[in-house]
Amino acid sequence: MAEQTSAGGTGHSRQGVSEPRIRPVAIGGVVFAVCIMGIIGAYHAIAGLAAIIDHNFYRSQQNYAYDFSISGWGWIQLITGIVVVAAAFQIFSGRTWARAVGIAVAVISALENFFFTPYYPVWSAIVIALDVLVIWSLATYGHREAHKVYNAPL
């Protein structure tokens, strides 16, 4: 019988190298992570601008160990927002370093919101939860999937 090759079923390419199997959850997770990082970055930037423009927007907290000046919080929020949005756009490059930076930025965002909790407790908790989901989404998305989807170099 003649040798038959099929596109599906075996998971092997013609050269004998196994092609990565793309999981829809992983791809959807990355799109989710990028969208959420864009929203979180925009929130950080808007919250930072609000504090920089109007010093009375946030009230200074009494007996809070990490109480910076309102202007200081504003600049921290603004810079973090710009970095988060920039990292979100780099994730679609499919490079491992972009995912690592995305995870690191989400960790920094979660820590920043932990310290920002006295100013906006409910929203800070929501952003921390979203940062955890971003970290999970980026951590489960592998290099082989990025190569298959974006033709990123192996």
Q: pLDDT tens digit string along 8-49?
A: 444 444 555 555 555 555 566 778 888 888 998 998 899 889
User: Three-class SS of residue 54?
Assistant: coil
Does the structure show a pLDDT above 60 at 106? yes
Residue at 50: amino acid letter: A
> For the whole prediction, is pTM greater than 0.85?
no
pLDDT of residue 8: 45
Q: pLDDT tens digit string along 122-153?
A: 988 999 999 999 898 888 776 555 555 555 55
Q: How far is CA 41 from CA 13, 18, 51, in A?
A: 41, 38, 15
Helical packing angle, 96-116 and 143-150, nearest 10°: 120
